[in-house]
Amino acid sequence: MLRILSFCLVLASFALGVPVAKSRQKVLLISFDGFRWDYDRDVYTPNLDTMARDGVKARYVTPPYLTITTPTHFTLLTGRYIENHGVIHNMWFNVSTGEKKPYYQTQFVNEWWDNGTLPIWITAQRQGLKAGSLHFPGTASSYQGEVAMVRDVEPRFYNYKNETAWRENTDKVMGWFRDQDLDFVSMYFGEPDSTGHKYGPDSPQRREMVKQIDRTVGYIRDSAERHGLTDRLNIIMTADHGMTTVYRNGLVEEIVLSKIPGFSFSDLSFHLVDFGPSGMLLPKPGKLDKVYNALKGSHPHLHVYKKEEMPERLHFAKNARILPIILWSDPGYVINGYLPVQFHKGEHGFDNQEMDMKPFFRAVGPAFQKNLEVGPFETVNIYPLMCHILGIKPEINDGHLNATKHMLASAATTQGEFISG
């Protein structure tokens, strides 16, 4: 009798033009900050290896330039290059007052984030889905007056290395999916970035942290199974950027702007330097050419561009927040202002074409093929992929589903055929 009733309901649905309900797929986007594409090559990573066999592994992915945490994470959420989404730096700044806010405080400067581009949380919610975020950059902000339905912002001075907290957060997120029926969650882990900075990407400490991440990958998948989510949950793991070793201690001639003949900080109204291998300068009125000419060609490993001359491939020019002069150094070098003050053994922020800046990528779940390794693609393409799996129409973005659709299982149950780009 029940079979007959079900069959009649299906026939009625077709007759009325109403789609038959399907089990909606869910997406968990996970970022392990600073996880370089090759970090699994010198460490035994059984859980990452199993995830690759059960799903998809990319050789590497290419983040947008500038290859630092906040801007590249907002690209993952929006599918837009940094010049288009406008979250151009880890730090909020005011060129009139000279004020700068560090990474954590910038999370709470709403107008820095709410700049006309909507993250996937808001788009999903506007189309009837439920979204959440844990610790992901941008979580604390509202967008056109809306926030992620469920959100968890890490406290100040949070210990990003605590493996016990990682497991607690994992179970919390899986509970959101199961108990609150969320469709999409973004989840952030602050490692191995901090360890790579402090000890260097080739250090034993970094290798130990990758082992901790691998254990956590296994725990994430086990938790999904314990919460009864395996047949509906698609897990995408990636990172914002990679990491490279910094040269110093007399090994190289360091880049120190104050020592460059013809250059003076007195010619600047505002600057962002001393934050790794990249910088931006705002010369005083009438001083732009003087500053530019003094710096251009001043060091063999320093690249100096006027904003309008930036290489088009970097997509880092067409935004009012980007300052008139942009600097970046070659891998291994950092840019110092008045004197060397940077002591990290590892850094990022370099040209996104440098291999050490490339992150890793894994994906597993009912929407994905199994045991598939694919070639490289840009991280702007992850956004339209997620929208496709969720069955939502994406906002205007710079990605293309064509770049990733070969990863999808031919029989995957998705709720839409929306293709961007």
Sheet hosting strand 268-272, strand order edge to edge? 268-272, 278-283, 325-329, 302-306
Q: Which residues of 36-50 are buried (b: 16+ CB within 10 A; e: fewer)?
A: bbebbeeeebebbee
Those residues whose C-beta lies under 8 Å from the C-beta of residue 153, and which sit 6 or more positions away, are 107, 135, 139, 140
For the question of residue 69 being annotated catalytic, the response is: yes
Of 62, 67, 69, 216, the active-site residue reads 69
DSSP, collapsed to helix, strand or coil, labels residue 29 as: strand
Structure tokens at 145: 């007056």
Structure tokens at 209: 């942290």
Residue with tokens 């934050």: 275
CB atoms closer than 10 angstroms to residue 73: 27
Taking each helix axis as running N to C, give the angle between helix 382-390 and helix 69-78, from 0 to 180 degrees, rounded to the nearest 10. 40
How many helices and strands in the chain, by DSSP H and E?
12, 20
Structure tokens at 312: 């088009």
What's the rounded Cα separation, in Å, for the pair 302 and 406?
Answer: 39
Structure tokens at 359: 């992150």
Question: Quick one: CA dihedral 68, 69, 71, 76, positive or negative?
Answer: positive
Q: Would you please indicate which residues are annotated as catalytic (active-site) residues? A: 69
